[in-house]
Amino acid sequence: MNNDVIESFKEFEFQIKNKLIGEEGIIILNGKIPVILSAPHSVEQVRKGRIKPAETRTASIVRFLSENVNCYGVIKTRNFNDDANYDEKNYFKDVLIDVIKNNNIKVLIDLHIMSANRKHNIDIGTGRGKNILNRYDLLDILINNFRLYYIEDVKVDYIFTASFKNTVSSTISRCCKIPCFQIEINWKLLSENYNENKIIEILNSLSKSIIEFKELV
């Protein structure tokens, strides 16, 4: 399964990088479970005039989970010289808000990738509880399922707190009144080029959390 998943990820990421899909700049994936995943950094972003690298594997994770768990997803496919996780007004966030309101979505998981140089594996940003509306029961589910699949060094609000008011999770929590989690995943866990890679474990842990969320929201 691991090789098949990686190959499908590579193909999807190739299509995004070469602008073969998502001509309008965003792919919307429909589902039945009222949980939505977002990948706002799946293409390069521009922050304060500086180009920041794409976190393209987040797009693959969102697509995989949407197809296999039947949750919703929104993936950015074009760089509009913007940064959806930094700019106050942003097309990606506007679309995300519309999808959430039109489909009665109850939880957002906003996916990001942090450098392989980071010492920890996962950083869950909650805005120090504010963005998740103090739904610590949902936070516990995320943490416990990462640990269930042997993903250790899971931190909460450690470096990437998502507290800045223009982050995707902060904006959506404020505008849609739903708990929003920003999850930063260490690149070592997602890249087949590292021995530490745990792609399948990441997918399994997130899948289980989404299914459990369904019963609590």
- Render pLDDT for 120-140 as a digit per residue (tens, 0 to 9): 999 999 999 999 999 999 999
Look up tokens 């706002």; give the residue: 40
DSSP 217: -
Do the beta carbons of residue 73 and residue 66 sit within 8 Å? yes
Give me the pLDDT at residue 1, please: 56
Q: Which residues of the chain have pLDDT under 70?
A: 1
- Render pLDDT for 25-58 as a digit per residue (tens, 0 to 9): 999 999 999 999 999 999 999 999 999 999 999 9
Within 13 Å, how many C-alpha atoms sit on residue 206's CB side? 31
Look up tokens 């590292």; give the residue: 194
- Contacts of residue 7, Cβ cutoff 8 Å, sequence gap at least 6: none
Give me the pLDDT at residue 164, please: 98
- Contacts of residue 179, Cβ cutoff 8 Å, sequence gap at least 6: 106, 107, 108, 131, 132, 133, 135, 138, 173, 217
Please give the domain boundaries of the chain with CATH numbers for all domains.
2-214 (3.40.630.40)
Strands (E), the chain: 26-29, 33-39, 45-47, 50-52, 71-76, 107-114, 122-125, 154-156, 180-186
CA distance 34 to 108: 9
Length of the chain equals 217
> Which string of DSSP letters, residue by residue, matches 53-104?
---THHHHHHHHHHHHH-EEEEEE-S--S--TTT-SS-HHHHHHHHHHHHTT
Give me the pLDDT at residue 131, please: 99
Give me the pLDDT at residue 183, please: 99
- Contacts of residue 18, Cβ cutoff 8 Å, sequence gap at least 6: none
